[in-house]
């Protein structure tokens, strides 16, 4: 088995929205905002080679939306999904499975791209099954008013039309014996939280339950969450499990660190060590 961090670029989101009820005087010290109150965040994906399967978890936001849309989110940095996969030593055609933790634009947009003459859309991972939860798919295609703006038809419909859409809740061990799928309902309904067993370690792709190492304290919950109290409960379960079993927590949005381990402190469960995935796997 081999695990690779995939850099799909950075973008900006409002700092207040990312930290919810936490005052700016506190979160500003964790991720400084620019003059527009926007903070930089990663779009970090995880690539897992396990035998004959090559599993990509999340795909970033892609680049097919128009300049106006891109301008809202200040896409920046040198990271690029397909380039990063190639740097890791793989071709997009080798990807066998794409796990979309959820269908918000910054997690699934890279799963669909323009075709060569920009007359329609195609899937860059042409040989891959694309996995989501059936209940989450229903939410994304029949969105509530709160999430409607982040469930983009161009990111979602082409996956269904390709015939490559699969529902993980309708299959036993959809990704094989080394990747378990847990689910959360706080950020959005039935978000997938993959647990990857690597040698004697477990890497947990935290998705948006804990988007960065700065979000470990229980009240640090995003304003985007549809059920913030549920997020807090789910976060507590994940963190206590990570503490007891020494899991490595992998962050999709942390601007600097791939992942961290945790420890118990007087203030609660906090970061023990953080850094690159390769460094923490080597410990």
Strand 2-14 to 259-265 pairing: unpaired
Selected from 3.40.630.10, 3.60.15.10, 3.10.310.50, 3.30.70.60, the CATH number assigned to the domain covering 2-282 reads 3.60.15.10
pLDDT at res. 70: 84
Both tokens of 189, joined, read 């309904």
Tell me how far the alpha carbon of residue 144 is from its chain's centroid: 21
Both tokens of 171, joined, read 């299959």
pLDDT at res. 68: 87
Among the listed residues 172, 171, 166, 182, the one whose alpha carbon sits nearest the alpha carbon of residue 123: 166
Q: How many Cβ atoms are within 10 Å of 243's Cβ, its own excluded?
A: 15
Q: Are 55 and 105 within 8 A, CB to CB?
A: no
- Is 116 exposed, middle or buried, given 0-12, 13-18 or 19+ CB atoms closer than 10 A? exposed
d(CA 175, CA 225): 27
Tell me how far the alpha carbon of residue 89 is from its chain's centroid: 21
d(CA 187, CA 194): 15
b/e per residue 89-109 (b: at least 16 CB within 10 A):
ebebeebbbbbbbbbbbbbbb
d(CA 148, CA 80): 26
The CA-to-CA distance between both ends of the chain, in Å, stands at: 17
Q: Where are the domains of the chain?
A: 2-282
pLDDT at res. 82: 98
Both tokens of 114, joined, read 């323009």
d(CA 256, CA 169): 33
For residue 111, the 8-state DSSP code is G
> In a structure prediction context, what are the per-residue pLDDT tens digits for the chain, which is 283 residues long?
999 999 999 999 999 999 999 999 999 999 999 999 999 999 999 999 999 999 999 999 999 998 888 889 999 999 999 999 999 999 999 999 999 999 999 999 999 999 999 999 999 999 999 999 999 999 999 999 999 999 999 999 999 999 999 999 999 999 999 999 999 999 999 999 999 999 999 999 999 999 999 999 999 999 999 999 999 999 999 999 999 999 999 999 999 999 999 999 999 999 999 999 999 999 8
Give the list of residues 6+ apart from residue 138 with CB closer than 8 angstroms, or none: none
Among the listed residues 156, 118, 160, the one whose alpha carbon sits nearest the alpha carbon of residue 140: 156
């Amino acid at each position: 088995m081999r695990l690779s961090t995939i850099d799909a670029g950075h973008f900006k989101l409002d700092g207040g929205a990312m930290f919810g009820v936490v005052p700016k005087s506190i979160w500003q010290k964790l991720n400084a905002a620019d003059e527009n109150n926007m903070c930089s965040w990663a779009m970090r994906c995880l690539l897992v080679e396990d035998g004959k399967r090559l599993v990509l978890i999340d795909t970033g936001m892609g680049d097919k939306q128009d300049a106006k849309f891109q301008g809202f989110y200040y896409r920046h940095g040198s990271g690029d999904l397909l380039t990063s996969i190639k740097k890791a030593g793989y071709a997009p055609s080798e990807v066998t499975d794409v796990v979309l933790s959820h269908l918000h634009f910054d997690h699934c947009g890279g799963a669909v791209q323009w075709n060569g003459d920009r007359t329609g859309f195609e899937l860059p991972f042409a040989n891959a099954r694309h996995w989501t939860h059936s209940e989450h798919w229903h939410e994304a295609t029949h969105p509530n008013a709160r999430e409607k703006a982040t469930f983009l038809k161009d990111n979602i419909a082409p996956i269904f039309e390709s015939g490559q859409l699969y529902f993980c809740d309708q299959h036993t061990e959809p990704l094989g014996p080394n990747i378990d799928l847990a689910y959360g309902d706080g950020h959005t309904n039935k978000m997938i939280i993959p647990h990857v067993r690597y040698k004697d370690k477990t890497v947990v792709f935290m998705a948006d339950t804990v988007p960065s190492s700065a979000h470990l304290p229980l009240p640090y919950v995003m304003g985007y969450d549809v059920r913030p109290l549920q997020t807090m409960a789910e976060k507590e379960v994940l963190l206590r499990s990570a503490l007891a079993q020494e899991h490595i927590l992998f962050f999709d949005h942390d601007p600097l660190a791939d992942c961290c381990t945790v420890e118990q402190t007087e203030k609660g469960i906090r970061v023990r060590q953080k850094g690159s995935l390769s460094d923490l796997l080597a410990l």
